[in-house]
Amino acid sequence: EIVLTQSPGTLSLSPGERATLSCRASQSVSGSYLVWYQQIPGQAPRLLIYGASIRAPGIPDRFSGSGSGTDFTLTISRLEPEDFAVYYCQYHGSSIFTFGPGTKVDLK
């Protein structure tokens, strides 16, 4: 069973700052199956990144993903007011679908 751990639990930042979110897998996984979502309270999740680094359609280029093996990172280069939300990583592979617990990015 692959378990995803996200850190930090909460990230307190100001608009314009850089956000770096971590997702760690309990065993090495293919980056092809590592995904990031954004969820604003009261809304459905929004796909940001798939294949570890491929931006979904319509996602601004301030969002970027990287990583391999067990360690993956979502970076928001300069936070906009609409970016304060919860971010989840997800792994999918061999009909296994699992989400991380999430990182909340809130206003400092």
Q: Given the rule CB under 8 A, which residues bind another protein?
A: 33, 35, 37, 39, 44-47, 50, 56-57, 88, 90, 92-93, 95, 97-102
Encoding tokens for residue 12? 């307190």
Minimum CB separation of residue 52 from another protein in Å reads: 11
Minimum CB separation of residue 96 from another protein in Å reads: 8
Specify the residue, 27 or 95, whose C-beta has the smaller distance to another protein.
95
Specify the residue, 4 or 79, whose C-beta has the smaller distance to another protein.
4
Minimum CB separation of residue 19 from another protein in Å reads: 19
Beta-carbon-side half-sphere exposure of residue 6 (alpha carbons within 13 Å): 25
List beta partners, residue 97: 92
Q: Which of 45, 20, 33 is nearest to 103 (CA)?
A: 20
With contact defined as beta carbons under 8 Å apart, do 11 and 106 qualify? Answer: yes
